Structure 1
Amino acid sequence: MSIQHTVIFRLNHSLDSPQAAAFFADARALLSSIPGVQQFTIQRQVSEKSDLTHQLSMVFADESAYLAYNEHPTHVAFVANRWLPEVAEFQEYDFTEVEGD
């Protein structure tokens, strides 16, 4: 069963800053290059109901692909070097499809 991994977040940088642009470019280049990552997207929040401003989303074919992503050195380095210093707040959600009877 596939897993859609989503992280909704707000950066420490202003949205139109060079630092924000570099963060998004690096996230796209690095995270989408990890084996098993499918349908990688970065989206901007348009509702005023949340102060979290962006979403990273990707799909994995199954739990083993998702676990391999979490442990992949590129992901681990991105979290340590970019995510932790540059993200002010986040929520993480992982979804699988609801099976019908």
Structure 2
Amino acid sequence: MKNILIIGATLLLALSVMQCGAPQTSDNMITHTVYFKLKHPKGSEEEKAFIQKAVDLGAIETVHNLRSVKEVSPKNNFDFGLIMQFEDQAGYDFYNNHPDHVDFVENVWKKEVVDFMEIDYVPNE
């Protein structure tokens, strides 16, 4: 009986640890996507630094599931993308107005991005 309790407790602990690392997502989240082309040469240190600064925005508390993606198709002129989710409009607005995001847009994005497309969407119900 003691072994069964230990196994059960171990399984519950493992499940709770897995849940903590699981993406926080639901079907009704706002998905914010932006696809862009940088002025930097492909593979350059400047390009890598830009991507890291963008990914660092994931530290803003209302951002969920931030991913940086790289284009693999020649169907458009964008090289990279950022995809993130927000629980609701208030979370999205908090991110947009957050000092770290505003600083990034003004001092990094506007200086280093030559073209972009932004799409924000919610599930079609």
TM-score tier, shorter chain, comes to over 0.9
Structure 2 unmatched ranges of 5 or more: 1-27
Q: Which has the higher strand share?
A: 1
Instruction: Write the mapping of 1:66-81 to structure 2, written as runs, cut at 5 A.
Output: 66-81=92-107
* 1:21 aligns to 2:54 (yes or no): no
Report runs of 4+ in structure 1 exceeding 2 Å deviation: none
Richer in helix (by share): 2
Q: What's the TM-score, normalizing by structure 1?
A: 0.94
Could you list the runs of 5+ residues in structure 1 that have no partner in the other structure? none
- Counterpart-to-counterpart distance in 2, 1:25 and 1:91: 20
- Which residue in the other structure is 1:63 paired with? 89
Query: Which structure carries more relative contact order (alpha carbon 8 Å, separation 6+)?
Result: 1
TM-score, normalized by length of structure 2? 0.76
Provide the C-alpha distance between the structure 2 equivalents of 1:15 and 1:64, rounded to a whole number of angstroms: 36
CA distance in 2, matches of 1:41, 1:15: 19
Tell which structure's C-alpha radius of gyration is larger. 2
RMSD: 0.7
Q: 2-side partners of 1:15 and 1:67: how far apart?
A: 32
| Distance in 2 of aligned mates of 1:68 and 1:15 | 32
Aligned-partner Cα distance in 1 for 2:45–2:58: 21
Question: Which residue number corresponds to residue 31 of structure 2?
Answer: 4
User: What is the percent sequence identity of the aligned residues?
Assistant: 39
CA deviations over 1:45-83 (Å, ceiling 9, x no partner):
111111111110100000000011000000000000110
Please report how far the alpha carbon of residue 97 of structure 1 lies from its aligned counterpart in structure 2 after TM superposition.
0.5
